[in-house]
Amino acid sequence: MALFVGRYVNKIDKKGRVSVPKPFRLAFVEQSFAGLYAYPLFKFNAFEACGEDFMERLSNSLEDLPMFSDEQDDLSVILESAHRLPFDPEGRVALPSEILKATGITSQTLFVGRGRRFQIWEPKAYEVNRGQAFARAKARGATLQLRTPPKREGEES
């Protein structure tokens, strides 16, 4: 299991904790850090979450850029805005107030699988956005060019 798929709605308790869906948690087992990293999305009032390996990757990519460059500074916003959220023994995380405020989450949290990462939404906000995206895609007659399947070792072209 390595992919985040599907949507799940879980409650937030008085302490601000919310259970991360079990299927999602399973994708974290091979990580050195038992928890997730959440960073804000630019386009939506929602957060995206990933594991430590992705964060390392991001950090290393930033290191390739020249130190003190604008480029590095701008991209570093992700690292700066990220929250490190450890799982409690029951697989819950405590959502910091910044996330609650930015997403509008109060009583329920929506987890949206996105493959390698997943998103965290306020359920109704997601519905609205999803409706709009669907309408746009419909109006546009949206098409998608699928990428050629990635080649693994030992495979012919």
- Do 94 and 15 form a contact (C-beta atoms < 8 A)? yes
For CA atoms 95, 96, 97, 103, the dihedral sign is: negative
Q: How far apart are CA 155 and CA 157, in angstroms?
A: 7
Question: Which parts of 13-69 fold into alpha helices (H)?
Answer: 22-25, 52-64
Q: Are strands 108-113 and 92-94 parallel, antiparallel or unpaired?
A: unpaired
- 10, 45, 72, 129: which one binds DNA (CB under 7 A): 10
Taking CB under 7 A as the criterion, which residues in 102-131 touch DNA? none
Comparison of 46 and 93: residue with beta carbon closer to DNA: 93
25 scored as a contact of a second copy (CB under 8 A) = no
Q: Which stretch binds a second copy (CB under 8 A): 12-20, 87-95, 101-109, 146-154?
A: 146-154
- Is 91 a binding residue for DNA by CB under 7 A? The answer is yes
- Residue 98-117 contact track with a second copy, rule CB under 8 A, x = bound: --------------xxxxx-
DSSP 66: P
Beta strands in the chain (DSSP E): 7-11, 17-19, 35-40, 47-50, 83-86, 92-94, 108-113, 118-121
> Interface with DNA by CB under 7 A: which residues?
8, 10-11, 13-16, 18-22, 25, 86, 88-92, 94
> Interface with a second copy by CB under 8 A: which residues?
1, 3-7, 23, 32-33, 37, 41-43, 52, 55-64, 68, 73-84, 112-116, 130, 133-134, 136-138, 140-142, 144, 146-148, 150, 152-156
